Structures are given as structure tokens and as C-alpha cells.
Amino acid sequence: MPDFLADIDRKKVVVRRDLHFATTPGAGRAATNVAPAHTINGKKFEDHIIDQAMLLGATEEWTLYNDIVNNGGGPAHPFHIHINPFQVTEILNPAVSKDPFTLPDPWVWWDNIAIPPAAIPPDAAKEDKDKLVSGYIKFLSRFVDYTGAYVLHCHILGHEDRGMMQLVQVISNTTTVGHH
């Protein structure tokens, strides 16, 4: 195993981020003809707007949620980010269990993974039998080598093209300002 593929050191996490993926169903082909909306953290993609900025070399932990919308679970959103792969450490798939699954190390490197939809866990406690729970994915990533802008997005074309995408920018961790 080459050194650069060694597991990310959790103790080096400097930033934690939560990203919420949400699909609001449309009104279909009814007279109103409202298109579904696909958002991340409540907004659609906007060109030139940087949604996530980080320093080169930073280690971060991200949690991606598949939100409950209109008392329902949406589709699974296959999350994809360019440039740097990530290591998934924890998954909550509420269609399977109310308890998250912790992945044993050594972890797998991913560049695409589905965020499980919200569901009522089959093993929910009696008082939670009608409570939807958001699915989530937790991962560690390092922003190595590359400075500049790129994107993360849902890999379902109809979702990303309707706005389920964000601009990411990795910023140099050195300064060009000298001392006098």
C-alpha cells in the first residue's frame, strides 16, 4: 500500500461540515406543473458562488444527510466530489436500522456513494414507530495537491442539472505576503 493511501488520521480533523441534500417533489404533470427542486443546504447551484472553501492540506470530516421533505424520504442521492477521494467511516441507513454502522478500518477510498433516504427504522422504539429518520454518510477527506475551484454534486443527472451541486475551492495554505 503506497503511503498516500494510508488511512486518514481522525485526530487531524480541523473542520467539520454538514451538507443537507433535499428533494422536494414536484406537482408532476398536473395543471400546476411544478418541477421538483433539488437542493444542498437549502439552495441550488449558483455560478461564481463558493459554497465550501478549505485550506490546502486540511483534514476534514463531513456528514451528508438525505433530508426528510414533506413527511417523506426522497431518493438516494449518489454524492460525488471531484479531485480528492474520501474515506467513509459511518453510514446510517434508516431503512435497515436506527443505529449507524461504523465501518472498520482500513477504510475504503471512495469518490461516489449514495446517501440513504430518510425512512422509519424497522427496529425503531415503540414511541418512534411513525418517525422518519434522515439517512447519512460520514467521511474523512484531505484536500491535498490541488488549489482552485471544482464541484461536488449529486450524480443523478436530473438532480445536478436542477441545482444539486456546489462549488468547492481549495485555497493555498502559504502566504505571498512577506515580512519587513
Binding site for Cu ion (CB under 5 A): 77, 154, 156, 159
Q: Which amino acid is at 79?
A: F
Please say which residue, 54 or 91, places its beta carbon nearer to Cu ion.
91
CB 31 → Cu ion: shortest distance, Å?
26
- SS3 for 176? coil
- SS3 for 160? helix
CB 154 → Cu ion: shortest distance, Å?
3
Please say which residue, 66 or 87, places its beta carbon nearer to Cu ion.
66
**E strands of 25-76, at which residues?**
37-40, 50-55, 59-66, 68-69, 72-73
CB atoms within 10 A of CB 12: 12
Task: Answer yes or no: are the C-beta atoms of 77 and 90 closer than 8 Å.
Answer: no
Please say which residue, 138 or 159, places its beta carbon nearer to Cu ion.
159
What is the rounded CA–CA span in Å between residue 139 and residue 94? 18
CB 85 → Cu ion: shortest distance, Å?
20
Please say which residue, 115 or 167, places its beta carbon nearer to Cu ion.
115
Please say which residue, 86 or 143, places its beta carbon nearer to Cu ion.
86
Task: Answer yes or no: are the C-beta atoms of 169 and 52 closer than 8 Å.
Answer: yes
What cell does 90 get? 459511518
CB 95 → Cu ion: shortest distance, Å?
17
Specify the DSSP class assigned to residue 56.
Answer: T
Task: Answer yes or no: are the C-beta atoms of 8 and 59 closer than 8 Å.
Answer: yes
CB 23 → Cu ion: shortest distance, Å?
6
